[in-house]
């Protein structure tokens, strides 16, 4: 199998594995507290750090399996495949979660987000009228969370863009050129 095909195969395998981990983490958090991921900054940061670590580990493992060296382009290809799998899986998972598993989650999450925003603004000493105005400017949160075609498409696009940027960064960090050896130079003769 050539190197490019091997990278694709390994990226698909690892992308599916990370997608499964993502769903397990999301379901676990959902069963602990369905609105935790929407209201807890610490939970969001924790999940973000966990996935950065997992993406780095996966990248290093793929690089090892293809011989220990890969170019930026090869690393980016692998991460792009993984990103596409993660974005698709997350989008499908959210649709299934909000349409079938917990259809009133958008309403509860919107109420919890508004409550958390209100509490934060009160801590900063904002007046009640200012808080109401700021929340009104934010728009209807429940509409933003409902799994409509527009929201699904937007969510997928934003996920893919964020994973794309992360792919660029990780590819730049994890690229590793094969050292030049004297064996690689043509012999004079």
What is the tens place of the pLDDT at every residue in 110-136?
Answer: 999 999 999 999 999 988 888 888 888
Helix runs in 33-148, H state only: 36-39, 41-65, 72-96, 105-123, 128-137, 141-145
Query: Can you give the pLDDT at residue 6?
Result: 96
First and final C-alpha spacing in the chain: 34
Mean per-residue pLDDT, 30-42: 93
Q: Does the pLDDT of residue 161 top 80, yes or no? A: yes
For residue 70, which phi and psi values (nearest 5 degrees)? -160, 150
pLDDT at 178: 87
Per DSSP, what are the bridge partners of residue 70? 176
State the pLDDT at residue 12.
Answer: 98
CB-based contacts of 161, cutoff 8 Å, min separation 6: none
Summarize the confidence of residues 165-183 as an average pLDDT.
90
* Per-residue pLDDT, 138: 83
Nearest to 71 by CA among 178, 175, 173, 168: 175
């Amino acid at each position: 199998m050539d190197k490019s095909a091997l990278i694709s195969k390994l990226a698909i395998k690892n992308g599916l594995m990370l997608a499964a981990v993502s769903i397990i983490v999301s379901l676990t958090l959902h069963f602990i507290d369905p609105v935790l991921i929407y209201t807890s900054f610490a939970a969001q940061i924790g999940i973000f750090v966990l996935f950065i670590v997992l993406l780095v580990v996966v990248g290093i493992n793929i690089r090892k399996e293809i011989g220990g060296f890969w170019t930026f382009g090869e690393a980016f290809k692998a991460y792009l495949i993984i990103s596409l799998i993660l974005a698709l899986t997350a989008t499908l998972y959210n649709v299934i979660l909000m349409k079938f598993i917990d259809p009133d989650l958008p309403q509860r999450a919107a109420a919890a987000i508004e409550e958390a925003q209100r509490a934060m603004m009160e801590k900063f000493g904002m007046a009640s009228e200012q808080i109401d105005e700021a929340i009104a400017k934010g728009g209807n949160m429940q509409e933003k969370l409902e799994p409509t075609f527009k929201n699904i498409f937007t969510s997928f696009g934003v996920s893919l863009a964020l994973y794309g940027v992360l792919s660029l960064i990780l590819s730049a960090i994890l690229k590793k050129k094969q050292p030049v050896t004297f064996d690689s130079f043509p012999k004079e003769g």
